[in-house]
Homo-oligomer: A and B are copies of this chain.
């Protein structure tokens, strides 16, 4: 048979640790946060900074809960200022004025991907600190992706651009 399952295929090697950091606004749903952890784990992301009432659901995050460092902070703007001072480019995921289509955006290697909350998206205090904003096009209803879905698409796009780390 041409296509046979490879059950325990080894992961793709990275030549260096991924510098990508994901920084999340307070999420209403820890299911969403935990789903992001599972994706981040698969993609070799090392750290997620989360805010709000954070509780990882291990059944959903899987090994991502162990392999991705969780840093919990009270508020995102000071985190973003620190990341910027540390040389990260702050890239929001949102539909805004002056946003770039995700697939047309060349991610800087040291990117902090900044995620908004489910209902309000990114607060103005965060938007004001961003270097760039990427948006994922919508072609139909409901015109907005689930936050774990859009975050996963953005991480996928980053990894597509840096397949080897």
Q: Which residues of A come within 8 Å of B, CB atoms? A: 1-6, 8-9, 11-14, 18, 35, 38-39, 41-45, 60, 62-64, 66-67, 92, 94-99, 101, 103, 121-122, 124, 127-128, 130, 133, 136-146, 148-149, 152-153, 156-157, 159-160, 163, 165
Contact = CB atoms under 8 A, between A and B. Distances in A.
Contacts of A138: 9, 11-12, 42-43
A98 B3 contact: yes
Contacts of A97: 2-4, 6
Nearest to A149: B152
A69 B97 CA distance: 33
A11 B124 contact: no
Contacts of A146: 35, 38-39, 60
Nearest to A120: B5
